[in-house]
Amino acid sequence: MLPKRQINRVVTQTKADATYAELRRLILDGTFAGGTVLNQEQLAATLGVSTTPLREALRRLEAEALLESHGKGQVMVTEVDPAKLPHIYIVREQLDCLAGRLAAQAATPEDLSALRAALEVVPGPNATHLDYWAANVSFHRTIHAAAHNPILSDVLNRVYLQYDRYNAVFLEYVLDDIARSEHAAMVLAIEQGSADDVETLMRTHYEHGRRFLQIAQTDRQSRWQGADLGEAALKFGSGSPS
Ligand SMILES: [Zn+2]
């Protein structure tokens, strides 16, 4: 028998993790807008870190397509292309339906507790749209975990990371009562093991989201910087982000 080895819980973030999280936040909240060129040396000084953790953080953000290399020790915050949003949304919908179906079949009692707990997360009165979005994402990620499919989790993670950026730039998401009741109905269907019901509820949730996106597009044409909105809006078909 192998000797028992102790594995300690990781309680503090590494410098690279913390640098990554802070830079990601600055990009998502628009402090570093699309097209901003960042000098690595200045960035390291501003953040108070050395170049090693900074480089690691920058590599991760490049892999998430939030940054691109700009040569000579510089990186550029990638521009967001509104025409891509409907494409991401459609993929998110299909994958979330699959995750919901699998969760109905595979959720453990612990997953069900986590799902019920995720329903209780309600941002406070001073919450920004990013806080609402974070609460929504945390609920959906709990479904992803309950699906117990690592390949699906990996793909969903990448899709959600991309969507984060679009949400931050173009939408003012609010987790409203309708979306919350849709979440609660999904948890009930997962508890009952009904894959068909979960999928139906997820599709309704995304239809609700499509309507929100269309309103956001109409209201915020100026933020889309002259892109071909008509085309993008039509691709949404009929209809608060889910
Ligand atoms: Zn949702």
Structural domain spans, the chain:
15-77, 82-235
Cα(144) to centroid(ligand 1), Å: 12
Architecture of the 82-235 domain: Up-down Bundle (1.20)
- Dist CA 217 CA 171 (whole Å): 8
How many angstroms does the Cα of residue 101 sit away from the middle of ligand 1?
15
- Is this structure's pTM higher than 0.85? no
CB 238 within 8 A of CB 207: yes
- Amino acid present at 213: L
- Write the pLDDT tens digit of every residue in 10-27: 556 788 899 999 999 888
CA of 49 to the centre of ligand 1 (A): 36
CATH topology of domain 15-77: Arc Repressor Mutant, subunit A (1.10.10)
Burial class (CB in 10 A: 0-12, 13-18, 19+), 110: exposed
Helix (H, G, I), strand (E, B) or coil at 75: strand
- How large is the average pLDDT for residues 73-99? 91
The rounded Å distance from CA 179 to ligand 1 centre is: 6
Ligand 1 centre and the CA of 17: distance in Å?
27
104-158 pLDDT tens trace: 999 999 999 999 999 998 888 888 877 888 889 999 999 999 999 999 999 999 8
Cα of 136 vs centre of ligand 1, distance in Å, is 5
Centroid of ligand 1 to alpha carbon of 147 (angstroms): 16
